[in-house]
Amino acid sequence: MPAIRLIVGLGNPGIDYADTRHNAGFWFLDQLAQREKVFFHEEKKFQGEVARVRLAGQDIWLLKPTTFMNRSGQAVVALALYYKILPEEILVVHDELDLMPGCMKLKKGGGNAGHNGLKDITEKLSTPNFWRLRLGTGHPRSLGMAQPVADFVLHAPSSEHKEMIQECIAAALKTTNDIACGDMARVQRSLAKYGSPKPKTNPEKNEEQ
């Protein structure tokens, strides 16, 4: 498989959104950058914050779009075109309603499941043929909540669910050398134990959101 040359973390810019579920992709990239001791800088031509790391001998761009979620594709396609990066060389890390907290999956292509960031990236790249690391946040219905989805993703998870998401991020970060080399089958095997739903605990049901 082709090596990954661009890792995109999805989220919304600004302190008001920093701790929200929709920013799980930003959390992943921030921790990767911190581990590798690199710093993000604003790149207006790419409409995002950009950093570069070297993993397993490969140079990889890190991108946090600053366009807000529903226009994420503008940033992705701008950087990809500039550096001649193909869709199959892109990994997008994002929050996933269809997986419970503590679950994650790596997949290539497929639908967008109502995720506006993925939808815009697919439209701007003219293909769904890019990799996705799906970090489970749960869906308000699966968590027994009446909260509208749009409101749910723009609020912070409970401390318990945040810890479960962070456990997934920590495990995924251990696979970044394999990601860099494009050995996605090995990454999928490494993350397979996180693919099954966790027991349904809901510390959020009675919280004011």
DSSP string covering 161-198, please? Answer: HHHHHHHHHHHHHTTHHHHHHT-HHHHHHHHGGGSSPP
Buried b (16+ CB within 10 A) or exposed e, 31-43: bbbeebeeebeeb
Q: Is 94 annotated in the active site?
A: no
C-alpha span between 103 and 81 (Å, rounded): 32
From the list 22, 94, 115, 161, the catalytic residue is 22
Nearest to 100 by CA among 134, 136, 133: 136
The catalytic site residues sit at 22
